A and B are shown apart, each in its own frame.
Chain A
Amino acid sequence: MSKPKVAFYWCASCGGCEEAVVDLNEVVLDVVEAVDIVFWPVAMDFKVSDVAALEDGELAAVFINGAIRTSEQAEIVELLRRKAGAVVAFGACAWLGGIPGLANLYSRESILDYVCGESPSTVDGGGARPVEEFDAPEGRMRLPHFDEDVRTLDQVIDVDYYLPGCAPPAGLIAQAVMALVEGRLPEKGSVLAPDVALCAECIRAATKPEDLKVERFYRPYEIVADAETCLLAQGLVCLGPSTRSGCGAVCIAANMPCTGCMGPTSRVIDHGAKALAAIASLIETRDPDEIAVLAEQIVDPVGTFYRYSLPASLLHRRVEPAPIRGGPAV
């Protein structure tokens, strides 16, 4: 019997998810044993035309990481959707928008102006901007359209499963691939990680008091955190209570607070909103002015609470275009 065919593709991403697959170390050999990888741009030289030539549904599973920002990404994922049995949104960017999703705080125009014009490392190009079609001596050159917004994968195509994390932990990846191979995948739409927040697996959980109140919030560089006590109890903004477990709480083990990359549990529709509700409940004072002071200690609340989930959030993006830091307003 032939092995199931799988494909990996990357959209607006950092490449970390690709490395996560490689990070499986020896296990990757089991994976390679069990499946036939027919498309993996970062690692193998298959072409889009190879994918196009497949039968519809011929691919058992397609693992797509990264958010959608260009027309090329949208087209390729549409193609992969046609050819796939199951599409797995691989990593925080594909599921929730990820860090690239924070670009939704800026308008498309202001991004292009900054990158092509005002950034410190740009040599004055006389106002050059990317064009989508250009006649070169070699022929007509095309560039993908740079979208207005960053979108999640399921805002573009139907997604069957989500593998959370930035990047997904090796253990969860291996589990997902093996489940696929063995035909043990759960119901469609599931997130392939425990549906319970990080505190359940954090070894410091016992040191978190039942009535925790924080008098001051610190940014990670402001204190040297004690290596054994709950980080929230020390005033660091740890999003553990609102974020799925399954990652082994590795950030906590490195003495850094959870930033929310594993996304929310299934009962929550907006990760940032619940993350902020949890943090707000740590404030003890009843005085509105004091509350405001404490809240202001969380610099950049959108970036803090929606670090990975802005495109997936209820508001999806900033309402008015915002200037790139240091650049002119649009």
Chain B
Amino acid sequence: MLEPEAGLTTQPISTNGGPRIGVYVCHCGLNIAGKVDIEAVVEFASTLPDVAVARDYKFMCSDPGQELIEKDLREGLVNRVVVASCSPLMHEATFRRATAEGGQSPFYFQMASIREHVSWVTADGAEATEKAKALVAGAVRRVALHEYLEPRRADVRPDVMVVGGGIAGIHAALTMADAGKHVYLVEREPTIGGHMAKFDKTFPTLDCSACILTPKMSAVRSNPNITLWTYSDVVGVEGFTGDFTVRVRHRPRYVKADLCTGCLECIEKCIHKQGKFDDEWNEGLSKRKPIYIPFPQATPAVVVVDPETCIWFKTGKCPQTCIEACERDAFDFEQTETFDEVKVGAMVLATGFKTFDAAKMPEYGYGLYPNVYTSLEVERLLNAAGPTSGEVELRDGSKPKVVGIIHCVGSRDAKHHLWCSKVCCMYSLKLAHMVKERTGAEVYNFYIDMRTPGKGYEEFYDKILKEGVHMVRGRVAGVTDEAASPEEEDHLVIRAEDTLIGSVRRIPVDMVILAVGIEPQPDAQDVRRLFNISCGGEGFFTERHPKLAPVSTFTDGVFLAGACQGPKDIPDTVAQAGAAAAEVLAMVDRGFVMLEANTAHIEDEVCSGCKTCVGLCPFSAISFNEERKKAYVNEVVCKGCGVCVGACPSGAAQQHLFTDAEIFSEIEGVLAYV
């Protein structure tokens, strides 16, 4: 056994009232005492440097056990505490509390696990006793160097924000507003409603989407606790847990929102007699005028002028019949972007998803053949307020007689996205039903697996099967318009292997519907940086824990709801939104957050400005001051991982409770005596 090098622990221990360590060895009934020689450990502990008192007790975590510690502290016998018992994951908090009760900072405490790590796993009693001694020595040597730390907390501001006004955002906002919180709901489109507002019917009940959604949209509008900001987006987030300052940009509609009644006369009277520009709401299937409202039940019911297409903005020469038509004198073509800065305690991100771009799979003919549609386009066709007033028609206006629906477009695909988008099987079955209902066509669904796990979903599948929809199990190889036989002339042909019968089939259809998958929004990376959270490899926002913490993130105070966290259907989205709202309410109602004690900090004088640490922090807790050429850790944001400390080449960065000196001391301790 080698003598530890003198001077390895760098901090001198002051002799003025220096450390007086109390070591308390727990029997834990027979759990420890049945294997470890408790007396020998206590005897050994009393010989260690700075140990003033060494005791044992049957159950240290019990009230009398804790009282032992508190009494010794109160009487000044000890000023630092080591408990050798179970795992710190079990009772560190308990004994820290006891230390605090005894009048000492709870961080002058260290635990040695001699149960989970010794008595429960070591066969031989003598060996177990030696190991226990080593771990106790490590804890004693370490605690001698612990510094004074106070538990810190930060206040949480009472207002909250929801980013994204789809069903997730709407539900979260209503829940929190009903609890009395002031909610800012920010939506980037001119209307809330998200994707759900575009659907016609929702599975498995075939409710009318608008019928269940619009009352909630209306409730948002009329709730006095909700400040609804549409056609707006978040451009800056500063601050940290419990105290965020959010900068929101409002884009100009060129209409005064408080005066517009949504009568739509201006749209009628626009000098464009017909729509001329792709209507984004209808997935480009129809045209709109430069002045428009996304759909009749848009909330708020305020028109928007698109400066990219409006003649007034492009040439300055227009009779502006719209202004004339407006009885409320609501137009204001001088409007500019405005900004608001608000302070909130917590935020829910409900920014939704986008559908996979089917043009990336040219083998399916999207964009090539006119009658290949995406599922979302067909939703618009089916919707009574859509471009064809609810009729399922081909581009030439005729009704299809045979329709093929291709599952897993862009999903479960090594070339595009590996994941399953969760909703497509169900919506494809729904579309099969509705297309059949509206047109009487033969419908073929081409699937890999039929995924119908939710409540009522399998029953729905069964119903569709009974309706005579044809199911072909096989990944579609391609869609072509080249006929290989007379029956295929003037049709699109879907080629797929029907794996259940083991042969390749060519099925002529009039219309192909591509069940495009769910993917993250295209600006997900920018958004996640704005809010200081992270994205997983696929690009969806990362939750704190996939099972046990699915709505929070690693940035305290930022929560997730809906498809932005991963593909999901409406029931799960609403459930998650409610969960996010609940966690926000828990945080805001408690009024404060406890900060990590084991944060990193950088010793200013020693920092050379080498910037090694700055980019290493996954939480962006380290910033670099260009003027002073020093790095700083924001201890409120810091989560205490210590990566920067391990990397710091000059030892300027240290971690509270895990300083270099404390760890060196623990290393020496576990090796020096046994």
Contacts and interface: CB of A to CB of B under 8 A. Distances in A.
A278 interface: yes
Contact of B652 (A205, A208, A267, A275): A267
Interface in A191-236: 195-200, 205, 208-213
Given A199-B609, A199-B610, A277 B646 contact: yes
A208 B610 contact: yes
A265 B606 contact: yes
A196 B606 contact: yes
Nearest to B5: A314
Contacts of B648: 274, 277-278
A38 B624 CA distance: 51
A196 B605 contact: yes
Interface stretch (B131-139, B203-211, B611-619): B611-619
B647 A267 contact: no
A268 interface: yes
B227 interface: no
A197 B650 contact: yes
Given A205-B629, A208-B611, A210-B615, A278 B606 contact: no
A241 B605 contact: no
A242 interface: yes
A268 B650 contact: yes
B606 A195 contact: yes
Contact of B649 (A208, A266, A278): A278
B651 A210 contact: no
A98 interface: no
A264 interface: yes
Interface in B563-622: 603, 605-612, 614-616
Contact of B608 (A198, A210, A281): A198
A241 B649 contact: yes
Interface in B631-674: 646-652, 654, 660, 664
Given A196-B605, A281-B612, A269 B8 contact: yes
A139 B130 CA distance: 60
A275 B649 contact: yes
Given A199-B608, A241-B608, A267 B616 contact: no
Most buried by A among B606, B612, B614, B616: B612
B606 A277 contact: no
B611 A242 contact: no
A240 interface: yes
Interface of B is mostly: loop
B261 interface: no
Contacts of A259: none
A153 B366 CA distance: 78
A245 interface: yes
A209 B648 CA distance: 16
A267 B611 contact: no
Contact of A242 (B615, B650, B664): B650
A197 B615 contact: no
A197 B610 contact: yes
A317 to B, nearest CB: 14
Contacts of A277: 646-649
B651 A205 contact: no
A240 B605 CA distance: 17
Interface in B500-518: none
A245 B608 contact: yes
21 contacts: A196-B606, A196-B650, A197-B650, A205-B609, A210-B614, A212-B615, A241-B608, A242-B649, A265-B650, A266-B606, A267-B603, A267-B650, A267-B651, A267-B652, A267-B660, A274-B650, A277-B647, A278-B648, A280-B647, A281-B612, A281-B647
Interface of B: 8, 10, 603, 605-612, 614-616, 624, 629, 646-652, 654, 660, 664
Given A197-B608, A200-B608, A210-B615, 14 more contacts: A195-B606, A199-B609, A199-B611, A210-B611, A241-B650, A242-B650, A265-B650, A265-B651, A265-B652, A267-B10, A267-B606, A269-B664, A277-B649, A281-B612
Q: Top 8 closest A-B pairs, CB basis?
A: A267-B651, A211-B615, A242-B649, A197-B608, A278-B649, A241-B610, A199-B610, A200-B608
